[in-house]
Amino acid sequence: MCNIKVTIAYDGTNYHGFQEQRGTRFTTVQGVLEERLFRLAKVPVQVVGAGRTDAGVHARGQVISFAATDWPVPVERTVYALNSLLPRDIVALKAEEVPASFHARFSATAKTYRYTVYNGKWHSPFHRLYSYHVPKQLDLNAMREAARYLEGRHDFSAFRALGTPVKTTVRTLYQARVASEGDLLYIMLRAEGFLYHMARMISGTLLRVGLGKLPVCEVAGILASRDSLKGGPTIPARGLCLEKVEYGGENH
């Protein structure tokens, strides 16, 4: 029995999210991966993903893991074997054998998401699938100030859509940064974990601040309210990308 960790990137445009949904016929990233791994392993393989990205959300550094008895491909050939079978919008970047205790989701200690805003007057046809278009001028300094209020260990209920029940809505947001490069604006969020829609709702709140629709001083109050009607809005999935997943001390 061996346990394999694979880092992947995908364009989420044509997928109904990462996670396979029983009883539906939507194409998911997990579904495509399991189908291709089945072709290699000749037995069913169950894939776990570190982040359950929504429909349309992208990934540059998603991590998956799966256990396989008699995995027929040497681990150093696994990336080649997978890429020869995967559609071109999903790419395997790295494969490693990991201890049996490793679980892509439960072992993760931090995740980084990046939200991309296209801030030019007209949306770029080249960024239209990978960003959210905001033609109005944004106050970056105000957005940066607001982001600092959100960093730290907080109950993020105000930035959570109802979804799968969770034990706790407290999370540590290690970093919330706003950067710009030409017409592109990036919101980088690094946290120990994210609640459902949390990255998009935080990004939506920061955009309201940037547009002058929400004073910076009200952000702490929204966080404290723990009221999801006050946080947000949940801005479009296509702007979001799972950049990186970290695994504590063992540095997997």
User: Where is the binding site for substrate, in residues?
Assistant: 113
Contact 201, 231 (CB under 8 A): yes
Q: From the CB of 9, what's the least distance to a second copy, in Å?
A: 6
Q: From the CB of 158, what's the least distance to a second copy, in Å?
A: 31
Considering the complex, state which of residue 95 and residue 178 has its C-beta at the smaller distance from a second copy. Answer: 95
Q: Is 54 a catalytic residue?
A: yes
Distance of alpha carbon 245 from alpha carbon 250, whole angstroms? 13
Distance of alpha carbon 100 from alpha carbon 91, whole angstroms? 24
Distance of alpha carbon 200 from alpha carbon 235, whole angstroms? 6
Which member of 54, 89, 155, 183 is catalytic? Answer: 54
Q: Give the pairing type, strands 184-191 and 170-181.
A: antiparallel
Helix (H, G, I), strand (E, B) or coil at 181: strand
Closest CA to 239 of 190, 201, 213: 201
Binding-site residues sit at 113
Q: From the CB of 91, what's the least distance to a second copy, in Å?
A: 5
Q: From the CB of 19, what's the least distance to a second copy, in Å?
A: 18
- Residues forming the site for a second copy (CB under 8 A): 9-11, 58, 60, 79, 83, 88-93, 122-126, 128, 130
Considering the complex, state which of residue 132 and residue 149 has its C-beta at the smaller distance from a second copy. Answer: 132
Considering the complex, state which of residue 9 and residue 73 has its C-beta at the smaller distance from a second copy. Answer: 9
- Which residues, in sequence order, are CB contacts of 106 under 8 Å at separation 6+? none
Please tell me whether the peptide bond between 233 and the residue prior to it is cis, using omega within 30 degrees of 0.
yes
Considering the complex, state which of residue 103 and residue 120 has its C-beta at the smaller distance from a second copy. Answer: 120
Residues assigned a catalytic role: 54
